[in-house]
Amino acid sequence: MTRIYAVANQKGGVGKTTTCVNLAASLVATRKRVLLVDLDPQGNATMGSGVDKSELDLTVYDALTHRAQVRECLQTSESGKYAVLPANGDLTAAEVEMLQLPDKERLLKNILDEIAADYDYILIDCPPSLSMLTVNALSACDGVIIPMQCEYYALEGLSALINTITQIQERLNPRLRVEGLLRTMYDPRNSLTNDVSAQLSQHFGDRLYRTCIPRNVRLAEAPSYGQPVIVYDRTSKGAISYLALAGEIIRRNDVGAPQPAASAEG
Give the pLDDT band (50/70/90) at residue 260: very low
257 is a domain residue: no
Question: What's the mean pLDDT in 32-51?
Answer: 97
260 is a domain residue: no
Cα separation, 219 vs 35, whole angstroms:
21
Neighbours of 172 (CB within 10 A): 16
Judged by average pLDDT, the poorest of 170-179, 235-244, 255-264 is 255-264
> For position 228, what pLDDT does the model report?
97
111 is a domain residue: yes
Q: For residue 66, how many C-alpha atoms fall within 13 Å in the half-sphere facing its CB?
A: 10
- Cα–Cα nearest to 4, from 119, 149, 81, 174: 119
CB 126 within 8 A of CB 20: no
Name every residue whose Cβ is closer than 8 Å to that of residue 15 and which is 6 or more positions away in sequence. Answer: 147, 149, 182, 184, 185, 213
234 is a domain residue: yes
Segment 152-188, tens digit of pLDDT: 777 777 888 899 999 999 999 999 999 999 999 888 7
Question: What's the mean pLDDT in 21-29?
Answer: 98
Cα separation, 139 vs 265, whole angstroms:
46
Segment 97-152, tens digit of pLDDT: 988 889 999 999 999 999 999 999 999 999 988 889 999 999 999 999 999 988 87
Residue 263 pLDDT exceeds 70: no
Cα separation, 108 vs 139, whole angstroms:
8
pTM: 0.93
Bridge partners (DSSP) listed for residue 180: 145
> For position 262, what pLDDT does the model report?
36
> For position 256, what pLDDT does the model report?
59
Cα separation, 245 vs 78, whole angstroms:
22
Name every residue whose Cβ is closer than 8 Å to that of residue 26 and which is 6 or more positions away in sequence. Answer: 228, 230, 242, 243, 245, 246
Domains held by the chain: number: 1
Q: What is the CATH number of the domain that holds 143?
A: 3.40.50.300
Residue 233 pLDDT exceeds 80: yes
CB 77 within 8 A of CB 36: yes
CB 24 within 8 A of CB 51: no
Give the pLDDT band (50/70/90) at residue 224: very high
150 is a domain residue: yes
Give the domain extent around 201. 3-251
Give alpha helix (H) positions in the chain: 16-29, 44-48, 60-64, 70-73, 91-99, 107-113, 132-140, 152-171, 191-204, 217-221, 229-232, 237-255
- Torsions phi, psi for 100 (to 5 deg): -90, -10
231 is a domain residue: yes
197 is a domain residue: yes
258 is a domain residue: no
